Amino acid sequence: MRVTSLVTIDLLYSTVHMLDSDFGSDFHMYLEYQEALVDRYLCQTRKRMASECEGKSSWPELVGVQGEVAAETIKRENPHITTVDILLEGTIVTQDFYCTRVRVWVDENGIVISVPTIG
């Protein structure tokens, strides 16, 4: 059921961007408000879902370290994690949620730029 909710959110994002391109800047403020609501809901949903996963779910201490080092630390500290994706900032990803996955966001130098979390 929660994956369905995230798929619905993903479709809403697509619709919002389609409307923006169809109606132009007059509609832009409304769309920004709607996107903020979606972001807030998605963030709350992800936190709730992460709390249901086994083991450690976030690694704030890894911000500022090399992505590869972060990935190894995550795998070592939570054996339930089967996939650690190291992604360049701005990479487009799906909105699905998995208790066995962590995405590590890095800058162009391979340095972790945000807190890695389950999802």
Question: pLDDT tens digits, residue range 1-44?
Answer: 344 445 555 555 555 555 555 555 556 666 676 666 565 655 55
In the prediction, which pLDDT does 2 show? 42
- The residue ranges of every structural domain in the chain are 2-50, 60-118
Distance CA 63, CA 67 (A): 9
> Does 46 score more than 60 pLDDT?
no
- Is the pLDDT score of 102 beyond 90? yes
Q: What is the C-alpha separation between 66 and 51, in angstroms, rounded?
A: 26
Q: Please tell me which residue, 74 or 20, carries the higher pLDDT value.
A: 74
Contacts 24+ apart (CB under 8 A), 33-42: 38/9, 38/12, 38/13, 41/9, 42/6, 42/9, 42/95
Q: Which helix (H) or strand (E) holds 118?
A: strand 117-118
pLDDT tops 90 at residue 97: no
pLDDT at 77: 97
Helix (H) or strand (E) holding 117: strand 117-118
71, 87 contact by CB (below 8 A): no
| pLDDT score for 83 | 96
Confidence of residue 95 (pLDDT cuts 50, 70, 90): confident
Residue 86 tokens, joined: 């190291």
Q: Considering the entire predicted model, what is its pTM?
A: 0.61
Query: Does the pLDDT value for residue 87 go beyond 70?
Result: yes
Top-level class of domain 60-118: alpha beta
**Over residues 47-76, mean pLDDT:** 89
